[in-house]
Amino acid sequence: MSKKHDYIFICSSLIDISEILYQIEKLKTKNYFIVVTTSRYSYDFLCKIIDKHNIVFLNSTLNTKPKNIFLWIKELLIMAYLKFLFRNSNIKKVFFYTPVYDLIAFYMVVNVFKNSEIILSNSAYNEGMNVYKKVPKKSILHSLYSKLYRIPIHSYSNYRLKIFGGGYIAGLPNDLINKFTLEKENSIKEIQDLIKSKYLIQYDNSKIDDKSILLDQGKSDFNGILDFDDVFKKVLNIFDIKTVTVKGYYDNRTSPFKNYGLDRLDLDWPIEYYNLNGCKNIFCVFTSAIGRIPKGKYRKISLLNLFKFENEDEKENWKLFMDKIGDDILYPNSFDELESIINNQDEI
């Protein structure tokens, strides 16, 4: 690395970016470097809003396809690259924003930045690591991960495994995580104000005048919903389908809304980085994006309570998660209540 940095930020998803930008602003520093572990979309977006020379993308994919022997070799190369990149570095603080199963991130904080203070994101801990339950016996795959990354790894479970299936989740043991410094919870409003003042992306917002913007999601998110199609068709009749336009998820191939004849907005980046004051409503089933959108001249509505879930814990956990991010979300409990909200002009 040609330039020495005082601060490192490790992230793996879009959710992390606004908090990272806020932390950089608080530190009042330009002497930072961001390591994006797994999300190409997050890397591309960061390159749009800050100097790309302050960012590196690792493109670690082993955790998604562990049967591919070439990805194990690639992971070894990534680890060697990290050792080379940060050789002789004297990093003061490493801000850690990734989930419990991001093993290349854990490799960095344990083996590459072992002499630095590790600041663990409050949201990453309380909405991720803290809700996983250790299982008594570690899987063979997780034992192999432990040897590869040269870190202790435990196997974890949580309620979403019952819904989406898959094996147990690999992650660091709690006694090691507890050695990190837990970051104080950041003000959502201050983060939103920073985005509005410094990072808003310009576009033709006449496209959203008097519209209701539906936030897209991955199709697999709805695996636990029992009555999605019937409920969603009734919702569209209440909103008036001609006024609904979809803000795409970054992977539109998996959109659950493709077959409803809805217009789509030509906006490539996260919704909270656009001025949305021309629209009437912003709504979703459940997504963290609805919480990250700042208050404005529109309603923010989650349809969560209108659907029946196979596991009611999933519904409750999503509501708790969204409420932590935004306290201005409306949750209609019936179609009549949704219609009343839509038709009440005084609430805007």
Residue 209, in any domain of the structure? yes
Inter-residue contact 132 to 153 (CB < 8 Å) = no
What total of structural domains would you count in the chain? 2
Residue 197 falls within a domain, yes or no? no
**One domain for residues 81 and 40:** yes
Number of helices and strands (H, E) in the chain?
13, 15
Q: Is residue 278 part of a domain?
A: yes
Q: Is residue 89 located within the same domain as residue 224?
A: no
228 in any annotated domain:
yes
Q: Is residue 193 part of a domain?
A: no
The verdict on 236 and 334 lying in the same domain is yes
pLDDT tens, N- to C-terminus, the chain (348 residues): 545 788 999 998 888 899 999 999 999 988 999 999 999 999 999 999 999 999 999 999 998 899 999 999 999 999 999 999 998 888 999 998 887 778 999 999 999 998 899 998 877 666 555 566 777 777 888 899 999 999 988 887 765 555 444 567 787 777 888 888 888 888 888 998 999 899 988 888 888 999 999 999 888 788 889 899 999 999 999 998 899 999 987 765 678 888 888 999 988 899 999 989 889 999 999 988 898 898 888 999 999 999 999 888 888 888 888 887 878 899 999 999 999 999 886 555
Could you tell me the pTM of the whole model? 0.86
Do 75 and 101 reside in the same domain of the chain?
Answer: yes
Q: Would the CA dihedral through 108, 110, 113, 116 be positive or negative?
A: positive
Same domain for 99 and 148, yes or no, is: yes
Nearest to 248 by CA among 229, 269, 277, 222: 269
Residue 1 is assigned to a structural domain of this protein: no
CB 215 within 8 A of CB 282: yes
Q: What is the CATH number of the domain that holds 269?
A: 3.40.50
Q: Is there a single domain that holds both residue 119 and residue 14?
A: yes
**Is there a single domain that holds both residue 48 and residue 151?**
yes
Cα(323)–Cα(131) distance, rounded to whole angstroms? Answer: 17
User: Domain of 51?
Assistant: 7-186
Assess whether 152 and 47 both reside in one domain.
yes
Same-domain status, 69 and 158:
yes
Q: Are residues 167 and 211 located together in one domain of the fold?
A: no
CA dihedral (284, 286, 292, 295) positive or negative: positive
* CB neighbourhood size of 40 (10 A): 11
**Contact indicator for 95, 20 with CB cutoff of 8 Å:** yes
| Same structural domain, 140 and 262 | no
Asked if residue 271 is part of any domain, the answer here is: yes
